[in-house]
């Protein structure tokens, strides 16, 4: 390979690495926002009649019936802690923003904070059937950049759980429902050769309180990917700017052999729907 070619390749990869995680997040979300279709119609009771009873009860409880159909959701987090591994010191995340879309399985989560005094940015997404997890330290180099089939499946599990925050996602044609009892239902979602499932647990008044899946992969301290039970918890429902009554927190826990590992504990400050652009 000629020297000039090596120099060009080196410059190219240097330029790529210099793009901040935040900028990449904005580019990806903006592209999806520009390609989306936003309906002018309201979601009506007849639109959800095919859903399991407990899911219908949830959608009535949060107040999305006779409101505009939802194409996308912006989730803004407040106080949020992330723990890398069991018994590690929690990392306080300074800013977290997320976008999910209902028409197709799409999820993009951005975070920044400080880890051992060093600034970092991170991004987790599921786009066109591919999952990706990145963490960039000091805006200089990636300390995490995971892309594989296990990450694809794990990211789709997370998207499925978070359909609770973008209720039109429950109507996605990719989802098959299997009722268990009046407060419990199993959902199976297929997308781009990925197939995962999980169980939604609702309380008597209609609130979703828990989602459990055995299809997500845990990254061990030896950097191995192992299937473990994953639990997402929601609660303390309140009225958001979008006009719906939704969970004000999101907690994620791994059910490890040695015990429960709560690794994400986030307060949801606000939720907005049908965004047409994203701020830089």
Taking the C-alpha atoms of residue 274 and residue 36, their distance in angstroms, rounded to an integer, is 10
Taking the C-alpha atoms of residue 39 and residue 219, their distance in angstroms, rounded to an integer, is 39
pLDDT digit string (tens) for 216-231? Answer: 999 998 989 999 999 9
Tell me the three state secondary structure of residue 147: coil
Distances (CA, A) of 111 to 131, 198, 274: 16, 25, 21
Q: For the whole model, what pTM was predicted? A: 0.92
Q: Could you list the pLDDT tens digit for every one of the 280 residues in the chain?
A: 554 554 444 444 444 456 899 999 999 999 999 999 898 999 999 999 999 999 999 999 999 999 999 999 999 999 999 999 999 999 999 999 999 999 999 999 999 999 888 999 999 999 999 999 999 999 899 999 999 999 999 999 999 999 999 999 999 999 999 999 999 999 999 999 999 999 999 999 999 999 999 999 999 989 899 999 999 999 999 999 999 999 999 999 999 999 999 999 999 999 999 999 998 8
> Long-range contact list for 253-260, CB < 8 A, 24+ apart?
254/218, 254/228, 254/229, 254/230, 255/228, 255/229, 255/230, 255/231, 256/86, 256/218, 256/228, 258/86, 259/86
Q: How many Cβ atoms sit within 10 Å of the Cβ of residue 222?
A: 6
pLDDT digit string (tens) for 88-121? Answer: 999 999 999 999 999 999 999 999 999 888 999 9
Cα distance from N-terminal residue to C-terminal residue, the chain: 39
């Amino acid at each position: 390979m000629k020297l000039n070619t090596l120099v060009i390749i080196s410059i190219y990869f240097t330029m790529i690495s210099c793009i901040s995680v935040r900028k990449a997040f904005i580019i990806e979300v903006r592209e999806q926002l520009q390609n989306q279709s936003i309906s002018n119609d309201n979601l009506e009771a007849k639109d959800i009649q095919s859903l399991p009873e407990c899911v219908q009860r949830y959608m009535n409880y949060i107040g999305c019936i006779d409101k505009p159909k939802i194409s996308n959701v912006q989730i803004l987090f407040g106080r949020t802690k992330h723990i890398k591994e069991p018994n590690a010191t929690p990392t306080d995340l300074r800013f977290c923003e997320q976008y999910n879309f209902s028409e197709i399985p799409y999820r993009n989560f951005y975070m920044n904070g400080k880890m051992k005094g060093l600034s970092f940015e991170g991004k987790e997404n599921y786009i066109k059937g591919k999952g990706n997890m990145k963490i960039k330290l000091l805006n200089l180099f990636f300390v995490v950049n995971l892309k594989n089939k296990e990450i694809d499946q794990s990211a789709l599990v997370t998207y499925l759980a978070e359909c609770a925050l973008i209720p039109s996602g429950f109507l996605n044609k990719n989802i098959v429902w299997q009722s268990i009892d009046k407060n419990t239902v199993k959902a199976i979602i297929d997308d781009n050769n990925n197939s995962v499932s999980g169980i939604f647990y609702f309380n008597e008044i209609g609130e979703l309180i828990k989602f459990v899946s055995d299809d997500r992969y845990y990254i061990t301290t030896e950097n191995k990917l192992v299937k473990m039970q994953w639990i997402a918890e929601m609660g303390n429902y309140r009225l958001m700017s979008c006009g719906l009554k939704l969970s004000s927190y999101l907690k994620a826990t791994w059910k490890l052999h040695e015990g429960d590992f709560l690794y994400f504990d986030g307060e949801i400050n606000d939720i907005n729907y049908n965004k047409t652009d994203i701020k830089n």
